[in-house]
């Protein structure tokens, strides 16, 4: 029997292929590939969808983070407080600006930054807090925003995994000074290659970002600052515009799968994802915790169920951050989570039969 895949992008393409092909064909017919009407239209749609006033398309989620930090003036000598439990790009973006990532530990049940540990990490060099809405669950933004306000810090949300997620009725990405999205193909809203976007309600920040993504040009060949080449191309924008029409439906399907998993795993020695009151999870990943993680992954593989470990090594223990002086024991919750976490198959098109195979295999293991 065919294994239950961890993610199946072909299943999605099967449904919307002709519409995508048509949109891409129009881009080819226009022969306008960079900074054209598709990107501008997508920026308007995404701004509206997230409730932010502006959106700026860039080449990747990593660049969205980097450019948002640069536009807010973060650079050498500064510190940015963030989570050690994320994809590397979160901390990497901080380092690329010349600033230093400072890691605060996570909450054991949500896998997101624990606001309780934040204030102790603030120094006179701290410029910003960079919370990540990991796996599609929004961070506890109330306390994070009030700590930032009290200490005059910027908040840049890493919403790469959380398109459509909500915290107390507000969309992920719309609550801080800037919100960063990734359109990497496996994301909830994924393109046909790399892509990203920054959403913000600040006009001056949006204007700065539009220049920064295009070599700092305010008009052709007039460079006000040294920017970069980081633009969302028209083929990506056209593809994403088609997919945007389906995102709510897809996120609902993910939530339905999560509910079914939650029910199937009740009573087992495995912790299912917590959804705090007021949060709307979009389950980019459905991740469980068990002290027998490696054995469970091996068993599931034998049973034809693919799994993934996100993330096996927390960021403060990455070899490239040896120079920060961070060490084992600095973020004990993130370290334990890295040893115990396992993500199960999750994508909108997952069939009821596949879902049951996953559930039965997990039940059998325990």
**Cβ 157 vs Cβ 133: under 8 Å:** yes
When the beta carbons of 61 and 173 are compared against ligand PLP, the nearer one is: 61
Among 20, 16, 86, 93, which Cα is nearest to 58's?
93
* Residue 233 CA: distances (Å) to CA of 8, 83, 212: 24, 30, 16
Q: Which residue is nearest to ligand PLP (CB)?
A: 61
Beta carbon nearer to ligand PLP, 128 or 362:
128
C-beta of 182: minimal distance to ligand PLP in Å? 3
Helix (H) or strand (E) holding 94: helix 89-96
Nearer to ligand PLP, 63 or 335 (CB): 63
Nearer to ligand PLP, 184 or 261 (CB): 184
Least CB distance from residue 63 to ligand PLP, whole Å? 7
CB of 242 to ligand PLP, least distance (A): 19
Write down the least CB distance from residue 95 to ligand PLP, Å.
13
Nearer Cβ to ligand PLP (187/357): 187
CA 298 distance to own-chain centroid: 27
The helix (H) or strand (E) run that includes residue 80 is strand 79-82
Q: Is the dihedral of CA 153, 154, 160, 164 positive or negative?
A: positive
Residue number with CB closer to ligand PLP (62 or 110): 62
Contacts with ligand PLP by CB under 6 A lie at 60-62, 86-87, 89-90, 132, 158, 160-161, 182, 184, 194, 196
SS3 4: strand
For residue 160, the minimal CB distance to ligand PLP (Å) is 3
CB of 138 to ligand PLP, least distance (A): 13
Nearest CA among 2, 4, 1 for reference residue 359: 4
What is the helix (H) or strand (E) element at residue 295, kind and residue range?
helix 293-302
3-state secondary structure of 170: strand
| Residue 2: partners with Cβ closer than 8 Å, 6 or more residues away | 304
């Amino acid at each position: 029997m065919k294994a239950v895949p961890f993610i199946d992008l072909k299943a999605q393409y099967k449904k919307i292929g002709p519409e995508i092909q048509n949109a891409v064909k129009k881009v080819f017919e226009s022969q306008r590939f960079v900074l054209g009407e598709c990107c501008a239209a997508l920026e308007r749609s995404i701004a509206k969808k997230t409730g932010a006033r502006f959106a700026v398309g860039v080449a990747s989620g990593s660049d969205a983070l980097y450019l948002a930090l640069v536009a807010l003036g973060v650079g050498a000598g500064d510190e940015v407080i963030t989570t050690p439990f994320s994809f590397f790009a979160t901390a990497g973006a901080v380092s690329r600006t010349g600033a230093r990532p400072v890691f605060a530990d996570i909450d054991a049940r949500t896998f997101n930054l624990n606001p309780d540990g934040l204030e102790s990490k603030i120094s006179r060099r701290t410029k910003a807090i960079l919370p990540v809405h990991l796996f599609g669950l929004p961070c506890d933004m109330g306390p994070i925003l009030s700590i930032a306000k009290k200490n005059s810090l910027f908040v840049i949300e890493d919403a790469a995994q959380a398109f459509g997620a909500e915290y107390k009725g507000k969309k992920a990405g719309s609550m801080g000074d800037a919100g960063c999205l990734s359109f990497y193909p496996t994301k909830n809203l994924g393109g046909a290659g790399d892509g990203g976007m920054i959403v913000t309600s600040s006009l001056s920040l949006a204007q700065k970002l539009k220049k920064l993504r295009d070599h700092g040009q305010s008009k052709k060949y007039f460079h006000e600052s040294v920017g970069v080449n980081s633009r969302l191309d028209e083929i990506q924008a056209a593809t994403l515009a088609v997919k945007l029409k389906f995102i709510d439906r897809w996120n609902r399907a993910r939530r339905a799968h999560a509910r079914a998993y939650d029910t199937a795993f009740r009573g087992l020695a495995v912790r299912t994802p917590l959804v705090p009151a007021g949060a709307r999870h979009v389950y980019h990943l459905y991740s469980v915790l068990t002290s027998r993680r490696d054995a469970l992954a091996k068993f599931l593989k034998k049973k034809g169920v693919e799994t993934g470990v996100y993330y096996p090594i927390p960021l403060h223990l990455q070899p490239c951050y040896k120079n920060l002086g961070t060490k084992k024991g600095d973020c004990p919750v993130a370290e334990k989570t890295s040893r115990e976490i396992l993500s199960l198959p999750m994508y909108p098109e997952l069939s009821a039969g596949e879902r049951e195979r996953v559930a039965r295999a997990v039940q059998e293991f325990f």
